[in-house]
Amino acid sequence: MAMTLRLPEDLDRQLEALAAARGTSKHALVVEGTRMLVDLETKTDIVIEVAASVRARYADLLKRLEDA
């Protein structure tokens, strides 16, 4: 899907320099960065869900440990 991306000038210059240094395109870097962010957020959501599950499952034990 096509999308227009407007970046602040300083960020565009940094992206251009990074793309040149890596021998790739700005587009490829934006795609890579977006994937990294989505992966990070997804993993964060999973960790939060697991922590909530553990907290609920072991609430009594955690309370006893807290009081010990």
Domain ranges of the chain: 26-67
Instruction: Assess whether pLDDT exceeds 90 at residue 55.
Output: no
By C-alpha distance, which of 35, 62, 67 is closest to 51?
A: 62
By C-alpha distance, which of 31, 30, 50, 53 is closest to 42?
A: 50
Pairwise CA distance, residues 68 & 53, whole Å: 22
Pairwise CA distance, residues 29 & 52, whole Å: 34
Q: How confident is the model at residue 34 (pLDDT cuts 50, 70, 90)?
A: very high
- Give the predicted TM-score (pTM) of the model: 0.65
Model pLDDT, residue 31: 96
Write down how long the chain is.
68
Model pLDDT, residue 62: 86
